[in-house]
Amino acid sequence: MNTTGRYNEPPSTVNLGTDIDDFPEFEPFRDDAEDSEEDGEPEPRGPGELSVQAVDMCRHINMPKHRTQAYVTDNLVVRRGQEFVLHVTFSRSITPRDRFRLEFLIGSNPAIQKRTLEWVTFGTRDRGRWSGRILDSRGPRVVLGVTPRADSIIGRFRMYITLIYKWGLKRTRRNPDTDCYLLFNCWSVEDAVYYPDEPGRQEYVLNDNGVIYMGSRENLLSRDWVYGQFERGVLDACIYMLDACRMPITTRGNAIHIVRKGSAVINSQDENGVLVGNWSENFSGGTAPTLWTGSVNIMLQYANTGTPVRYGQCWVFAGVFNTFLRCLGIPARVISNFNSAHDNNGNLKIELIFKSDGSADMRNTHDSIWNYHCWNEVFMRRPDLPPRLSGWQVVDATPQETSDGLYRCGPASVVAIKEGLVGHAYDGPFIFAEVNSNVIYVTRDKYGNDIYTYVDKRLVGTGLFTKRILVDKADDITLTYKYPEGSVDEEKAMQTAESFGLARDQPAAADPAITVTLSVDQMELGMDVELKVELHNRGDAALTVKALLTCAVVFYTGVVSNRFKSEALEVTVAPDKKETVLVKIEAEEYLKHMGFQRFLAFTLVGSGDSGGLKAVKVVYLRAPDLQLKVSGVQAVGQDMFVNVSFTNTFKFPLYNVTVALEGPRVMSNRQRFYNILQPQASFNWKESFVPETMGKRTLVAVMSSANLCEIWGKIEFVVEDKLHVEEASD
Amino acid sequence: MNTTGRYNEPPSTVNLGTDIDDFPEFEPFRDDAEDSEEDGEPEPRGPGELSVQAVDMCRHINMPKHRTQAYVTDNLVVRRGQEFVLHVTFSRSITPRDRFRLEFLIGSNPAIQKRTLEWVTFGTRDRGRWSGRILDSRGPRVVLGVTPRADSIIGRFRMYITLIYKWGLKRTRRNPDTDCYLLFNCWSVEDAVYYPDEPGRQEYVLNDNGVIYMGSRENLLSRDWVYGQFERGVLDACIYMLDACRMPITTRGNAIHIVRKGSAVINSQDENGVLVGNWSENFSGGTAPTLWTGSVNIMLQYANTGTPVRYGQCWVFAGVFNTFLRCLGIPARVISNFNSAHDNNGNLKIELIFKSDGSADMRNTHDSIWNYHCWNEVFMRRPDLPPRLSGWQVVDATPQETSDGLYRCGPASVVAIKEGLVGHAYDGPFIFAEVNSNVIYVTRDKYGNDIYTYVDKRLVGTGLFTKRILVDKADDITLTYKYPEGSVDEEKAMQTAESFGLARDQPAAADPAITVTLSVDQMELGMDVELKVELHNRGDAALTVKALLTCAVVFYTGVVSNRFKSEALEVTVAPDKKETVLVKIEAEEYLKHMGFQRFLAFTLVGSGDSGGLKAVKVVYLRAPDLQLKVSGVQAVGQDMFVNVSFTNTFKFPLYNVTVALEGPRVMSNRQRFYNILQPQASFNWKESFVPETMGKRTLVAVMSSANLCEIWGKIEFVVEDKLHVEEASD
């Protein structure tokens, strides 16, 4: 677009590397331009005129006060809505007649009206949005206090000190050392992302390590994830992401816009974002989603190459998004929703279609239930919505469906989801369906006609979990999303959602006289699995059930990878009685079909008179953990060691074994490869490292092989202060 | 994104050329698969089994009834919510025991659940969303009636006839001749785009020619524009545009989504859409926006090359968008808003910044007032909004500001704009500001401090115009957008807008004792211009006014192209008196600076004690029209001629003169070039054509040169029916 004939250029969308066109160093006032030299730089007139000798951004004073000392950067990092100090050394003591101001610039063509240029003045003529005050002034050294507004644009600012003389302006020269990063501030009541208590801020903004829940509700597995938001380069990578998706600088102070844009740029759809999704079993040309230890490598690779990183699945999208959010100072956490509905056509029902012989009709089934799905929550005020909808908001970076034209989702108020208020921005209907859809079992006859045979209203959104604040335990937050199943309030929320246009078909499916329950006790990978089929005849006549039981390995998205067993059942159940059938699946039967997957799904579908009988049971099979041990003197500057070990307790060898290890503020990602690990064989992998800062630290390891993955391990340890160790050694 | 492990593939987004994976011709039922031959195609069993011999889509019966006969296509074009007929010839007479259905498919992987596969059945087992009935059945020839639902997906459908035998299904083979286009239907009450009267439908959907208003409110100029929505290839180009911007097929039945997506794809920003904007004076490598005669060439070039067409300005974006909308059957019209505000930061004020000497501060002015700006209105129900907000909706394809991440704008209810209800989807605040902003004149002192000197509340949105239904006159529709200036209702609407977060700063600018009015009587290009400056002293003491008058050539966006004259005025005005100063600008003074532009702007800014004095007057200079004459027998199939002529009545030669000529359903775009046209010289350009259909027709011509553009001409004439002429010649 050529815009010479328009004032309104396309907005500035680049923050990093935009210092080329800053204001001139010398800017004579036009009124008395005749007085000044036509060429050359006007010098300050006379020895008494003020000039700037040195500027100190006071990182060591400001960053602890702004809780930003963990960021590994060379520049000042501060939070908006809170004062920070600068030391300026002038050529002489300043007097009330001296006039100067600070100029903070962001993006190209910064301007006062666009809030991309902020002036800070230090006198009675204070007109800037950011306030300034002189805190101390002894001789030529002056201590200045600057308070950016709590709704300022966030990002990397350039700073100039501008002296105002009678003849014009003189600025300090461009100096990248005086650039500073401005972040969201959950400690400031005025900031839209204010979080009301300190433990929450410690967890949701400052914790650079976390847990993502997987598996199933009954068999909750925790996978550690290194957020690593303070590691060198990560803050710049976050700003690069906003630049890459061309987010206008002027909108970067608005938390709603930042998180919505973030949910779009984490996935590579639409704007060449960070991560390429891959839900196949072929991860060649990239890293398997199961092998990542955390976000840092992904974000640095993206920022360095500018091309999407291969590959992600939902927890990777959620993990990287969480790093992005915490790094910018927005309180954020990762949520896992078990049996998450992916409703393809917005009718609040998941239609699973079967052929008349009881086998699944894969071709015509478009909806799906993911065994689990991960998304993020951010904590913020929503000035665009009724006040009670502020607080936690759902955002989802996994590319599932487009929202107003792009792959992105949210922010949607969690309270609004619970109340069924799905008309508010953004994407309420899709998220409401993820936790509230009914599952409809449909039998399609040979002419293509559909018969609804069974409705399960309780399967979807069976539980939502997140890591507890500062504790390594799961918090069940299901009741923040849904009223209890069957309650009056739940029905009211469903009706509210319907009033916003969410169509809830109420298919008429007869209440079956016979019901079936599937259960499994043993869930260890490599062991035989015994499925218990319990049939309950609630009628007053004996019934003979004919059904087809199908056993399959499935993806975590619920999609069948391999169907390995099919068994016809015929059982007669006396009136008002239960009958139990045990079906044994031997380890050999399923192991050769597992591949990358860890889920088994059992589907029972009745036929003939028992056509209404439907049941699904999905089981996650556990495996042993990696073992981690640390040794050496656990203190800053000392050599330390970590040992990662694993013994193959299975009866089969593991091929192409990759192990990865990482610890935020301890060690960047390292990997080791083993061609084969025979049954009963072990590996012991020792790495050394030198801790640079004190405090509680975590190391996380993952293992992935051609025929087994999702093997995890971690260790926590405390690094002592350097000084403290020397005292102890006396 | 690799999705093997997910059911939910990225949605189908391509309509044209997606017939590769349609259903098989033979589809045996699985239940009795054992009976059928394993290899080869099963033949209908026995001579009595039904088969299809021929299908006739009945273009000549259906298209007049669906008002689609003007579309130049080889396929059937019909509108949804209205029955159309098909003639099917079977192998024998059908009986009630025969079972068959029609299958209509759109996009790849069509499915019943996604509404991209529609079944039409013809018996009691009618379960399809589209209804079917047998209208006549004599012998093997059957007349079938098909009624697509009024909310169906629109686009190009593939059609199959499927016979249902005991052993399975047999389909007709793929035949592009039986494809049909389904459009929106403003004649159907059930359709969301229903328009309530016939003259309106004739204008807003069926008129393929139109007028776009330019110039200024006082000097309204009409420019003809060939929409040409029925020309060969244009309907396919519209569908191609939806494909190019990857609009999911499943959402293509929703008029709101179609027009929102359309407003994004007309401009080349974001998704490589149709037109590249160019607001400079350099149009090399493309066609100057002023030289287009209509939309057809632009759309065909885009569809054929897949790359954006160079170049457009607002009326080109609006003209092409109007073609797109009318072609798909959505009632649409082009609106011109005079003095259209482009508010860069959403505060309902346009800040024009001046330096202390009265000259414009171009660097710091980011807002602008376009002398005129064109957008579109579409007529539709808005089920997503309160009912009274249905009706005309603003959509704007000119890339001005991004809306939720993309360059697009609307649909926004016109009623909502008038009432200040800017909280409803989509983009109410931006459009509200375009017609309601206050203009603030700001003087910036040398330290950078801003002083508000004058507020003009009446300049912006001074008039909105559109072509009258079926008549070549302008309708003033200002009152559909705004209550009268100064009325109680207007203040209420402003307050409503504020309650939705639109900040209206109320700058305190003193009511000046002296006011100034600028006016110009003569507006012919090439003649001297006399500016009348009228000063009115409303105070009770004599005042001496000092002011700077600046004369400039400006773009239609209000941006200064050349400032060619600057004159200091000093006038003393007695109390309660008026003084008039006449400033003469000679033709020679401005002509050499005009370039492509036709607007002169006069700006008067007071200085010293008269600092509050500000006035702007923008004048569009008229020029002679092109003359068009037709000759020959005005009847179908006869040779006809058109003569385009122009005489250079200016005192200067015209260089690089291009003339373009086009008439919908008469003649596609033709061009002629003249190196130079000396003063008093003329050209006479004669072209021949043969009309193919009868009715009222229009030919439109435009002329553009290196130093003069926006020269227009048109002629209307009636083409008689062929038969009628033969009778007349007897």
Give residue A420's pLDDT: 92
Residue A449: other Cβ atoms inside 10 A: 10
Q: B427-440: per-residue pLDDT in tens?
A: 888 899 999 988 88
Report H helices in A103-224. Answer: 198-201
Is residue B266 packed enough to be buried (19+ CB in 10 Å), middle (13-18) or exposed (0-12)? buried
DSSP SS3 for A613: coil
> Which range, A612-626, B145-159, B167-181, B430-444, has the best average confidence (pLDDT)?
B145-159
Residues of B within 8 A of A11 (CB-CB) are 401-402
Q: Give the pLDDT band (50/70/90) at residue A281.
A: confident
Cα–Cα dist B336/B580, whole Å:
33
In this prediction the ipTM stands at 0.71
Give residue A344's pLDDT: 66
Give residue B236's pLDDT: 97
Q: Give the pLDDT band (50/70/90) at residue A7.
A: low
pTM score of the predicted model = 0.83
Please tell me which residue in B191, B236, B396, B427 is annotated as part of the active site: B396
Q: B565-605: per-residue pLDDT in tens?
A: 999 999 999 999 999 999 999 998 998 888 888 999 999 98
Contact state of B281 with A30 under an 8 Å Cβ cutoff = no
User: Minimal Cα–Cα distance from A31 to chain B, Å?
Assistant: 8
For A206, phi and psi rounded to 5 degrees? -95, -15
Residue A690 · residue A638 · CB < 8 Å: yes
Contact state of B1 with A281 under an 8 Å Cβ cutoff = no
For B395, phi and psi rounded to 5 degrees? -135, 145
> Could you check whether the bond before residue A10 is cis, i.e. omega within 30 degrees of 0?
no
Cα–Cα dist B13/B636, whole Å:
41
Contact state of B277 with A3 under an 8 Å Cβ cutoff = yes
Percent helix, strand, coil in chain B, to 5, is 15, 40, 45
Angle between helices A314-328 and A296-305 (to 10 degrees): 80
Give residue A729's pLDDT: 45
Q: What mean pLDDT is predicted for residues A307-311? A: 95
Is residue B60 packed enough to be buried (19+ CB in 10 Å), middle (13-18) or exposed (0-12)? exposed
Q: What mean pLDDT is predicted for residues A81-85? A: 97
Residue A392: other Cβ atoms inside 10 A: 23
A621 Cβ contact partners less than 8 Å away, ≥ 6 residues apart: A523, A524, A525, A529, A598, A599, A600
Q: Which residue did the predictor score with more confidence, A335 or A509?
A: A335
Q: B39-53: per-residue pLDDT in tens?
A: 445 555 666 788 999
Residue B10 · residue B150 · CB < 8 Å: no
Give residue B35's pLDDT: 43
Torsion of CA A582, A588, A590, A592, to 10 degrees: -170
For A434, phi and psi rounded to 5 degrees? -60, -30
User: Minimal Cα–Cα distance from B276 to chain A, Å?
Assistant: 6
Q: Is the dihedral of CA A488, A492, A493, A497 positive or negative?
A: positive
Residue B558 · residue B434 · CB < 8 Å: no
Q: Give the pLDDT band (50/70/90) at residue B335.
A: very high
User: Does residue B344 have a pLDDT over 70?
Assistant: no
Give residue A654's pLDDT: 93
Instruction: Name the region of A501 (left: φ>0; alpha: ψ -120 to 50; beta: rest).
Output: left
List, in sequence order, every residue forming a beta bridge with B163; answer none if it has no partner: B100, B170
User: Does residue A529 have a pLDDT over 70?
Assistant: yes
Q: Give the pLDDT band (50/70/90) at residue A124.
A: low
Secondary structure element (H or E) that encloses residue A659, with its range: strand A654-663
User: Does residue B703 have a pLDDT over 80?
Assistant: yes
List, in sequence order, every residue forming a beta bridge with B562; answer none if it has no partner: B553
User: Minimal Cα–Cα distance from A278 to chain B, Å?
Assistant: 4
Contact state of B501 with A31 under an 8 Å Cβ cutoff = no
User: Does residue B724 have a pLDDT over 60?
Assistant: no
Give residue B272's pLDDT: 85
Q: B392-410: per-residue pLDDT in tens?
A: 999 999 987 777 777 889 8
Q: What mean pLDDT is predicted for residues A206-223? A: 93
DSSP assignment of B474-526: EEE-HHHH-PPTT-HHHHHHHHHHHHTT--------PPPSEEEEEEES--BTT
Q: What mean pLDDT is predicted for residues B270-296? A: 91
User: Does residue A717 have a pLDDT over 90?
Assistant: yes
Cα–Cα dist B121/B103, whole Å:
9
Give residue B342's pLDDT: 86
Beta-carbon-side half-sphere exposure of residue B273 (alpha carbons within 13 Å): 30
Residue B117 · residue B111 · CB < 8 Å: yes
Give residue A511's pLDDT: 62
For chain A, percent of residues with pLDDT exceeding 70: 93
Instruction: For residue A364, give the amino acid letter.
Output: N
Torsion of CA A237, A242, A243, A245, to 10 degrees: 120
Cα–Cα dist B50/B52, whole Å:
7
Percent helix, strand, coil in chain A, to 5, is 15, 40, 45
Q: What mean pLDDT is predicted for residues B159-185? A: 93
For A76, phi and psi rounded to 5 degrees? -65, 135
Mean pLDDT of all residues belonging to chain B: 89
Least confident interval from A152-161, A229-238, A399-408, B108-117:
A399-408
Catalytic residues of A: 314, 373, 396
Q: Among partner residues A261, A269, A368, which is closest to B1 by beta-carbon distance?
A: A269
Cα–Cα dist B586/B588, whole Å:
5
Q: B346-356: per-residue pLDDT in tens?
A: 678 888 888 87
| Residue of chain A whose Cα is closest to the Cα of B449 | A127
Cα–Cα dist A626/A643, whole Å:
10
Q: What mean pLDDT is predicted for residues A365-387? A: 90
Q: B232-271: per-residue pLDDT in tens?
A: 999 999 999 999 988 999 999 999 999 999 999 999 887 7
Cα–Cα dist A481/A271, whole Å:
31
User: Does residue B542 have a pLDDT over 70?
Assistant: yes
> Most B CBs within 10 Å: which of A101, A274, A404, as the mutation test of the B interface?
A404
Least confident interval from A47-56, A416-425, A448-457:
A448-457
CB pairs under 8 A between A and B: 181
DSSP SS3 for A243: helix
User: Does residue A620 have a pLDDT over 90?
Assistant: yes
List, in sequence order, every residue forming a beta bridge with A602; answer none if it has no partner: A551, A617
Q: Among partner residues A30, A111, A125, which is closest to B364 by beta-carbon distance?
A: A111
Show the beta-strand stretches assigned E in B574-707. 578-585, 599-606, 614-620, 627-632, 640-647, 654-663, 667-677, 682-689, 695-705
Least confident interval from A58-72, A213-227, A417-431, B360-374:
B360-374
Q: Give the pLDDT band (50/70/90) at residue A728.
A: very low
User: Minimal Cα–Cα distance from B632 to chain A, Å?
Assistant: 45
Q: B354-388: per-residue pLDDT in tens?
A: 887 777 777 778 778 899 999 999 999 998 888 89
User: Minimal Cα–Cα distance from A5 to chain B, Å?
Assistant: 5
Least confident interval from B18-32, B124-138, B241-255:
B18-32
Cα–Cα dist B119/A124, whole Å:
77
Output Rg (C-alpha) for chain A, integer angstroms: 31
Q: Which residue did the predictor score with more confidence, B24 or B158?
A: B158
Residues of B within 8 A of A409 (CB-CB) are none
Mean pLDDT of all residues belonging to chain A: 89
DSSP assignment of B452-469: EEEEESSSTT-EEEEEPT
Asked if B314 is an active-site residue, the reply is yes
> Could you check whether the bond before residue B311 is cis, i.e. omega within 30 degrees of 0?
yes
Report H helices in B506-613. Answer: 587-591
Place of tokens 């099919």: A566
Contact state of A250 with B112 under an 8 Å Cβ cutoff = no
Contact state of B279 with A4 under an 8 Å Cβ cutoff = yes
Q: Among partner residues A6, A355, A400, which is closest to B8 by beta-carbon distance?
A: A400
Residue A136 · residue A142 · CB < 8 Å: yes
State in Å, rounded, how far the first CA of chain A is from the last one.
72
Cα–Cα dist A607/A26, whole Å:
87
| Residue of chain A whose Cα is closest to the Cα of B445 | A29
Give residue A295's pLDDT: 97
Q: Give the pLDDT band (50/70/90) at residue A43.
A: low
Give residue A346's pLDDT: 64
